[in-house]
Structure 1
Amino acid sequence: MENPDLVSWNSMIVGYFENGDEKKALNLFVQLQKLCFPKPDEYTFAGIISATGSFSSFYWGRPLHAQVIKTGLERSVFVGSTLVSMYLKIKKLKAAQRVFYSIPGKDVVIWTEMITDASLKMFHEAYEIDDYVLSAVLSACADLAMLRQGEIIHCYVVKLGYDIEMSVSGSLIDMYAKTAPLKLHICRHGMAEEALKLFQEILEKGLVPNEVTFLSLLSACTHSRLVEQGKFIWNYMNIIGLVPGPKHYSCMVTLLSRAALLEEARRTYH
């Protein structure tokens, strides 16, 4: 190509990295840096930071991090997640933490970096934990089916007194509902029952559950085939005046159908 654009440069850098030739990826990045145009963007930096994994990340990573700041990309989630991962690999937890907290609008990728085994210590030492952080981390655990990490975060929720927050309680229920199928078959109902216990705590504290809470509960009952509990949740929605949505109906019809209660499922559907 006579004048390759930045997309082509980025594709080659990532291509070398993904095929195990990190040195060529790095050399290509150096060549790109010498050009007046095109200038590296967030995808370029994310690719080359990932490619430094087989080298001394501290030796290569710090200059790359400096360039990221110089180009004004330090608040990019895309670049930030690779920087966090890089610093965690070399046990620079404070550096990873500084990058993490400098990024607004964190997505599930960067939250995942925070809650994997390599980074749990960093989460434990975080000094800005609040209901938003806890809810986001639990949602990440739920989406990624990370039950063990979710249970650890649950301990922190109770310890810090955030179990009374509706957003956190809803995220806990969602986490247990989505990770329930991962339990051994002899503990099959354990996580769904844990979700139901949390629901009972919500009621005891005088809090009002919302549509998301009920959807998580119905999903938990469906996964574990807890028919009577599911019926109770469904009826309670009606008692407090919440109108079920399509997803609520889908969960309830599935629950009843799996229990061979086809007539009840038909009436619910209609």
Structure 2
Amino acid sequence: MTAAREETARRFSWRWAAACLVLAGLSSWASPATTAPAEPPSRQQVQSAAERVRADPNLPGSKTEKTLRFKDQDKKPEDKKKDRDGLGWLKDLVTRISEGARLLVWALGALALAWLVVGIRRWVKVRAGGGRHRMAPLPSHIGSLDIRPESLPDDVGAEVASLWQRGQRRPALSLLYRGALSRLVHLHAVPIRNASTEGECVALSEGRLAPMSLEFFARLVAAWQLAAYGGRLPPTAGVLALCAEFDARLGAPAGPAKAAP
């Protein structure tokens, strides 16, 4: 812009100087040799002189210059902002989506935290419940059978054999099964409960008894089930064998301390 203005001023100076020269020449040409005052040139004379100046090849002519400008340079900042905001709806959409995604992430984080808290509470409750379960009182009866140690004889096997030989077969088998359950609960800590069935008692004993003791208890349960549910009595030899192995397979109860002789 500065260079264009300087060029225009220079050309205007040339034209002004040329016009002055023309006017001076006309004045000297029109004025007589006498001392009479000079008359001003007419309008036609001025126009003719100006045409001769414009036709002079030695004087710079007029040129038309065009300046190329970028469209954005002529615009005001407000117009440029409007052009940039032509896709404002897209920017708003992206902004809303990002805000929604951020809210969704926070919501998922809150849900995960709540789920973690609930899981920890359940785990603590289960652990506490397991501790209470382990410390719960031992059952005194399995079904209708009394398994308290004080309700049983010290030598279960000998008492069962005596009852069997006296012909009291079902009471003998009942005492044998009661004594076995009492040993499992109080000596081997088998988690038998009041409503546990014969099959459940055998399954709960797995891992608590040695293999030979587990096999012995399974035979004892089979003899009891045969009489209780099958209406048949097991062979005498089998019952007496169970009586003889009872303490060896299931352990003898801790009796009261005896005074030294």
Structure number with larger C-alpha Rg: 2
TM-score bin (small chain):
under 0.3
Give the TM-score, by structure 2 length.
0.23
If each structure's helix is expressed as a fraction of its own residues, which one has the higher value? 1
